[in-house]
């Protein structure tokens, strides 16, 4: 169900979504979750790489210069 609100008149309308609209929303939701997981994985990999560089004895300034 989708709620439409007309801000000029204050009318509120609730409409049923079609099966296609529901599927499209599910696909968009899945894509958003995949993007979020990818961003989290990249951030985790970056933090891991920075920690490894620090473990090798590089200073924060040296790491930042890379």
pLDDT digit string (tens) for 3-59?
999 999 999 999 999 999 999 999 999 999 999 999 999 999 999 999 999 999 999
Prediction pTM value: 0.62
Query: Is pLDDT larger for residue 50 or for residue 66?
Result: 50
pLDDT at 66 over 90: no
Q: What is the pLDDT of residue 1?
A: 87
DSSP for the chain, written as a single string: -EEEE-TTT--EEEEPPPHHHHHHHHHHHHHHHHHHHHHHHHHHHHHHHHHHHHHTT--HHHHHH-
């Amino acid at each position: 169900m989708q709620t439409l609100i007309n801000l000029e008149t204050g009318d509120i309308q609730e409409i049923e979504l079609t099966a296609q609209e529901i599927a499209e929303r599910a696909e968009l939701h899945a894509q958003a979750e995949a993007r979020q997981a990818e961003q989290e994985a990249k951030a985790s990999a970056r933090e891991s790489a920075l920690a490894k560089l620090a473990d090798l004895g590089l200073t924060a300034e040296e790491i930042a210069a890379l």
